[in-house]
Amino acid sequence: MVKSSQSPVDLVIEARWVATVAANQAVLENYSVVVQSGIIVDVLPILESRQKYTASSVVCLENHVLMPGLINCHTHAAMSLMRGLADDIALMPWLEQHIWPAEQAVVSERYVQDASLLACAEMLSGGITCFNDMYFYPQATAAAATQAGMRANLGLLVIDFPSAYANDADDYLQKGFDAHDTWRNNPLITSSIAPHAPYTVSNQTLHKVITYAEQLGLGIHTHLHETQDEIVKSDAQYSLRPIQRLAELGLLGPNFVAAHGVHLLANEIELLAEYGCHIVHCPSSNLKLASGIAPVAQLLAKGVNVALGTDGAASNNRLDIFAEMRLAALLAKGVTGDASVLPAHQALAMATIHGAKALGLDHKIGSIEVAKLADLTAVRLDDIATAPYYDPISHLVYCCGREHVTHTWVAGELRYSDGIYANIEPNELKEIVNVWQPKLSQLKSEQGKK
């Protein structure tokens, strides 16, 4: 008997195009991505892969782009059930008069797990394989992400005022660390410490955040310079702009991830670059809350790593990174008056490898390369709305939407395919909405009477 020279593997994905998002920005045509035990073990022409490998599963994507899984680098997954609860309102009135009262009324561990599962379903169907979260009861978000089979970096929320979750900053920290301990051996879940924002966290608490982050080797995830009001109040209270205050306290560094960064002076962009910080651009949320437009072109020009995020569904109202890619590219061009600024390949990088870098995961995810985890998304281009196609990267950013996603893999496991989830039942999601919507609707009605 002649033994086969083919190597057995778990999965081979044959695609018309493979957008690697590697350093050379290669787009490969008629290539296969070969996966074994959740790891990419080869990327080679389809004909060669058929000769070299025999796979337990072969997926043929004749009219698709295969790309790295999208990374939502700033969100609040559990706010998915607050989608549309309070719209067309500026940030601080939105928070103080609507969102915070709603959270005080309904947020619990059960609520967070239910709402996060709804968010995970939305994200998986839109090609998102990893999200960077900040919310109460992170252990509940971890349970939802684990059920969905998604990758998540969960912020251990720290804030100086009490909630149903914790009483004070020390209580927040302790509960966060207890949660962190529960997922130490979960390959899908990582952690950061998440002081909510400079305006909700004292210097004393921030000193503790720095100490614990260093001791545990965790990143820091916060909101920063989202509105002018935040800056005015910081100047009045501390005689410092928020970023200057954080710099003096010692928070800035390569493990520091700041969402928004809308209102940044030139010297502050230099400061972020000097310390190797990361900014998460959330264009839809910033526009919807009239917060402004982040100076993305200037940040990128100075070498600051800029990723993309949706923020929560309550302020977006979509968890849709395709929409954020397109909007980020268009806004940068409109603001600068330069059509060449933030080209499509850079917008795609912001949604993938830049997010991975911000989370300290760029050695594992964010691009299609041998030895990385097979977090992958397939996008079909044979739709009327995407025809004709000449440049697949341009199409991904300017033409395609999340409705064109057909497959989403996390570590080589198919988690979503053409409307079907591996681990989530549609009826489960309907029941979640049916349970929580009446409670939030009643609250919205009561708020409207005030």
Over residues 399-417, the pLDDT tens digits come to 999 999 999 999 999 999 9
Residue 443 pLDDT class (50, 70, 90 cuts): confident
Give the C-alpha distances (Å, rounded to integers) separating 415 from 36, 185, 378. Answer: 16, 20, 12
Q: Where are the beta strands (DSSP E) in 361-431?
A: 376-380, 405-410, 413-417, 420-421
Residue 273 has pLDDT above 50, yes or no: yes
User: What pLDDT shows up at residue 2?
Assistant: 39
pLDDT value at residue 424: 98
Whole-number Å distance between alpha carbons of 158 and 30: 48
Q: What are the tokens at 114? A: 């239910």
For residue 23, pLDDT over 50 is answered with yes
SS3 49: helix
Q: What is the mean pLDDT of the chain?
A: 96
- Domain segments of the chain: what residues? 7-68+370-418, 70-358
As a whole number, mean pLDDT of residues 262-267 equals 98
Does 65 have pLDDT greater than 60? yes
249 and 222 Cβ atoms separated by less than 8 Å: no
Count of beta carbons in the 10 Å neighbourhood of residue 448: 8
* φ, ψ at 314 (rounded to 5°): -75, -20
List pLDDT tens digits, range 99-140.
989 999 999 999 999 999 999 999 999 999 999 999 999 999
Place of tokens 């379903």: 121
CATH value of 7-68+370-418 in 2.60.40.1120, 2.30.40.10, 2.115.10.20, 2.30.180.10: 2.30.40.10
Residue listed under structure tokens 């700041």: 258
Secondary element (H or E) of residue 385: none
pLDDT tens, residue by residue, 382-401: 999 999 999 999 999 999 99
**Percentage of residues of the chain with pLDDT beyond 90:** 94
pLDDT at position 394, please? 98
What is the model's pLDDT at position 5?
Answer: 83
pLDDT band at 146 (very low <50, low <70, confident <90, very high): very high
For domain 70-358, which CATH number applies: 3.20.20.70, 3.30.200.20, 3.40.80.10, 3.20.20.140?
3.20.20.140
pLDDT of residue 450: 61
Strands 27-36 and 39-45 come out as: antiparallel
* Domains 7-68+370-418 and 70-358 alike in fold: no
Question: Among residues 72, 34, 116, which one has the least CA distance to residue 402?
Answer: 72
Give pairs for 164-167: CB < 8 Å, separation 24+.
164/103, 164/104, 164/107, 164/108, 164/136, 165/107, 165/136, 165/137, 166/136
State yes or no: pLDDT of 163 exceeds 50.
Answer: yes
